[in-house]
Structure 1
């Protein structure tokens, strides 16, 4: 009877690796604890021991899963509020190319004036791989601006 519960623990644990649920992990633990208990108790009561472990471990696993999921919902998006450098744009879709974390991203401007290459902007939202930017005011650095003068001013 000992080997039956060892096999159940192994199969449930292996299946858990492929499914990612807590249910099979609880069943695997219950079977493992039952196999260990089987070293001390007769085989006739091991089915009841297994049932008892399942009735304790399954709700405990569910409670832990929901508790951990609630904690992760409180974490915000760490990209929001980070600065980016405008590389080029706008293209025909009014999208800009920006440099963020060493890579080029596509972005659209949601707040502020149209940026020029070399301007700084802040990420205010993300949609999939598209960054939504708020443009920072231009700093007078004494350099010639990269944007052509607008005909409106």
Structure 2
């Protein structure tokens, strides 16, 4: 009878590695504790012991998972405030292509003037894979601007 609970503990532990939930970990712990308890108690009561451990450990696992999820929501996004280089844009959806962390990202401008290729901007927010930018003011330089001339008269 003990081997059944050891097999349940092992199988639930392996499946837990693939799912990433605390529920199968609770079942694995309940089966392991039942197998250990089976060294002392007769086999006829082990099913009830397993049920008791499940009834205690599953709600405890749920509580722990929600508590850890609540703490992780307070983490700050380390991308906010980082600088990006505008590569091209805007396209028909007013999206720009920027270079950040060695790859190209789609971005929209939330704050500041419309950037040109070569301008710098700062990440002020993120929505999935879309960066929200705040454009830095252009610095006067001797270089010719890559922006097309404005049509203001």
Normalising by the smaller structure, the TM-score range is: 0.7 to 0.9
User: Is the alpha carbon distance of 1:40 and 1:106 closer, same or farther for their aligned partners in structure 2, counting shifts above 3 Å?
Assistant: same
In the alignment, the residues of structure 2 paired with residue 47 and residue 91 of structure 1 have an alpha-carbon distance, to the nearest angstrom, of 64
In the TM superposition, what whole-angstrom CA distance separates every residue of 1:14-59 from its partner, at most 9, and x where no partner exists? 3334443322221111111111222233223323322332232122
1:86 maps to what in 2? 86
1:58 maps to what in 2? 58
In the alignment, the residues of structure 2 paired with residue 117 and residue 123 of structure 1 have an alpha-carbon distance, to the nearest angstrom, of 16
TM-score, with structure 1 as normaliser: 0.86
TM-score, with structure 2 as normaliser: 0.86
In the TM superposition, what whole-angstrom CA distance separates every residue of 1:49-106 from its partner, at most 9, and x where no partner exists? 2233223212221111111010111123322222111112223332222111111112
> SS of the counterpart of 2:124?
strand
| Matched length | 153
In the TM superposition, what whole-angstrom CA distance separates every residue of 1:92-129 from its partner, at most 9, and x where no partner exists? 33222211111111222222111121111112222332
In the alignment, the residues of structure 2 paired with residue 18 and residue 101 of structure 1 have an alpha-carbon distance, to the nearest angstrom, of 30
In the alignment, the residues of structure 2 paired with residue 72 and residue 112 of structure 1 have an alpha-carbon distance, to the nearest angstrom, of 31
In the alignment, the residues of structure 2 paired with residue 54 and residue 68 of structure 1 have an alpha-carbon distance, to the nearest angstrom, of 21
Deviation at 1:12, TM superposition (A): 2.5
In the alignment, the residues of structure 1 paired with residue 105 and residue 88 of structure 2 have an alpha-carbon distance, to the nearest angstrom, of 11
Structure 1 residue ranges (4+ consecutive) displaced by more than 6 angstroms after TM superposition: none
Unaligned runs of 5+ in 1: none
1:10 maps to what in 2? 10
In the alignment, the residues of structure 1 paired with residue 147 and residue 19 of structure 2 have an alpha-carbon distance, to the nearest angstrom, of 53
1:138 maps to what in 2? 138
In the alignment, the residues of structure 1 paired with residue 90 and residue 27 of structure 2 have an alpha-carbon distance, to the nearest angstrom, of 56
In the alignment, the residues of structure 2 paired with residue 7 and residue 99 of structure 1 have an alpha-carbon distance, to the nearest angstrom, of 51
> SS of the counterpart of 2:25?
helix
Unaligned runs of 5+ in 2: none
User: Is the alpha carbon distance of 1:23 and 1:148 closer, same or farther for their aligned partners in structure 2, counting shifts above 3 Å?
Assistant: closer
Matches within 5 A, 1:97-136: 97-136=97-136
